[in-house]
């Protein structure tokens, strides 16, 4: 009898975009990030995608000292793969954004595969009060920012982090980003097997619908053949439906409060673990097994948790 497919669940625990005002469940203190990451791992997430925040202001942070207090505690309490974001903030340089990965040498980190109009300014009109002083302007002015990820930026990140043998989660927000990744592989920046995260439903990127998912998957098949593994991240209300569809197409899934603050339409999630438990139940009921952290390491050809610097 053939083995059941193994589905990797990634949980994006806290993000650089959504603010605590929008949901009290979104963690920003060291203790809350730690506890929610551990709970997500216990619920079935084999990969934890992590940003950091300044615990006093709640602002996005790429200061390694804002990662240090929770990375070691998460490693001690779980066997999950740690994936550190290199996204950070729309206003930071690539040198700033890769500093936490350079410092801590995790098994994985994100790698955005193209510049784009990444905006969330419509959210500014939905709220009258803000928890922190910086939030309203940051959100409202995102319509004037370009999320910069030039070929030079990508090359600098890849070459700087190469000695760390980190596996990149190549975040592709549109089909052109897949062609960017193919070019970067052709010039030797990345080696197979690569791990692609189809990011769907972000304003400025490809929309979250099944036709677009099929198109992205078909294009990746054409460009990378058997040399890639893939997952899907769908924003907002599309998170669970698109993850469910992707799991039945042979893909892996990402959920978490970074990508959606909701557990169902109009209902805020209580925490990250609630979203992980929901997609796990759905995927398992549809006949798939959930990959353990060690199985995820094997599938993605990771270096192992004993070779990180935290």
Q: Would residue 239 count as lying in a domain? A: yes
Is 162 a residue whose pLDDT tops 70?
Answer: yes
Q: Would residue 42 count as lying in a domain? A: yes
What's the sign of the alpha-carbon dihedral 42, 213, 110, 191? positive
Q: What percent of the chain has pLDDT over 90?
A: 88
Task: Judge whether 141 and 118 are in contact, CB under 8 Å.
Answer: no
Residue 6 bridge partners (DSSP): 289
Q: Would residue 17 count as lying in a domain? A: yes
Is 166 a residue whose pLDDT tops 80?
Answer: yes
Q: Which domain holds residue 81?
A: 6-307
Per-residue pLDDT of 100-109, as tens digits, reads: 999 999 999 9
Strands (E), the chain: 6-7, 9-14, 47-50, 52-53, 60-61, 81-84, 108-112, 167-172, 194-200, 228-234, 252-255, 262-264, 267-268, 289-290
Least confident of 18-32, 39-53, 179-193, 270-284: 18-32
Per-residue pLDDT of 8-52, as tens digits, reads: 999 999 987 777 888 999 999 999 999 999 999 999 999 999 999
Q: Would residue 292 count as lying in a domain? A: yes
What is the rounded distance in angstroms from the CA atom of residue 309 to the CA atom of residue 307?
Answer: 7
CATH number (domain holding residue 72): 3.20.20.70
Is 278 a residue whose pLDDT tops 90?
Answer: yes
pTM equals: 0.96
pLDDT at 1: 52
Least confident of 12-21, 37-46, 63-72, 194-203: 12-21
* Average pLDDT of the segment spanning 187-216: 97
pLDDT at 25: 95
Structure confidence at residue 2 as a pLDDT band (50, 70, 90): low
pLDDT at 150: 97
Structure confidence at residue 204 as a pLDDT band (50, 70, 90): very high
Highest mean pLDDT among 3-17, 117-131, 164-178: 164-178
Is 127 a residue whose pLDDT tops 90?
Answer: no
- The values of phi and psi at residue 228, to 5°, are -145, 155
Q: Would residue 1 count as lying in a domain? A: no
Q: Please give the tally of structural domains in the chain.
A: 1
Q: Would residue 181 count as lying in a domain? A: yes
* Average pLDDT of the segment spanning 48-70: 95
């Amino acid at each position: 009898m053939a083995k059941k497919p193994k589905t990797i669940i990634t949980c994006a625990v806290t993000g650089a975009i959504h603010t605590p005002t929008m949901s009290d469940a979104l963690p920003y203190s060291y203790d809350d990030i730690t506890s929610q990451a551990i709970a997500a791992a216990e619920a079935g997430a084999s990969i934890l995608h992590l940003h950091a925040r300044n615990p006093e202001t709640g602002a996005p942070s790429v200061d390694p000292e804002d990662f240090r207090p929770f990375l070691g505690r998460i490693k001690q309490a779980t066997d999950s793969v740690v994936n550190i974001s290199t996204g950070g903030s729309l206003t930071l340089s690539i040198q700033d954004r890769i500093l936490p990965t350079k410092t801590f040498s995790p098994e994985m980190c994100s790698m955005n595969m193209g510049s784009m109009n990444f905006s969330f300014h419509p959210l500014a009109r939905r709220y009258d009060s803000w928890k922190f002083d910086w939030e309203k302007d940051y959100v409202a002015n995102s319509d004037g920012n370009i999320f910069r990820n030039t070929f030079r930026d990508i090359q600098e990140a890849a070459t700087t982090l190469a000695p760390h043998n980190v596996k990149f989660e190549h975040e592709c927000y549109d089909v052109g980003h897949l062609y960017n990744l193919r070019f970067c592989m052709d010039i030797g920046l990345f080696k197979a097997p690569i791990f692609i995260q189809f990011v769907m439903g972000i304003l400025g990127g490809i929309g979250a619908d099944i036709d677009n998912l099929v198109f992205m998957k078909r294009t990746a098949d054409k460009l990378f053949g058997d040399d890639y593994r893939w997952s899907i991240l769908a924003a907002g209300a599309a998170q669970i439906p698109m993850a469910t569809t992707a799991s039945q197409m042979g893909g892996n899934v990402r959920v978490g409060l970074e990508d959606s603050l909701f557990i169902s339409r109009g209902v805020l999630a209580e925490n990250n673990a609630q979203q992980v438990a929901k997609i796990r139940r759905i995927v398992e009921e549809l006949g798939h097994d959930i990959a353990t952290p060690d199985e995820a390491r094997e599938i993605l050809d990771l270096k192992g948790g004993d070779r990180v610097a935290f």
